[in-house]
Amino acid sequence: MAKSFNYSDYLSDLESKLPELATSADLVRLGVFASEAAVSKARKLGHSPDYIQFSPGRIRYPRAAVINFFIERTKCGAKGKCHSCSSNQLGKTSQNNKEK
């Protein structure tokens, strides 16, 4: 039997593996984007996490920005029936990220 997906566990795992300032390669390695080209394209279109550009080739994504980006764009389809991704849980995660 397939193991059910637990959004909260996934989000905690993602947060624990993200460095404080992530690179495009980190976002790909952790499955936030499919490729570095996709990260670049999303950034240019304004559809990426907030980022810091130190120089033209040196862009970093703060951990909190990546987590908030992921939360804002995730839909589970359970329409409030899923205990692991209820709006209450998402609010707690967002609040924790703002405090960091």
61: phi > 0 → left, psi -120 to 50 → alpha, else beta; which? Answer: beta
CB 78 within 8 A of CB 85: yes
pTM of the complete model = 0.71
pLDDT in tens, 47-96: 999 999 999 989 999 999 999 998 888 776 544 445 455 444 444 444 55
pLDDT in tens, 13-45: 999 999 999 999 999 999 999 999 999 999 999
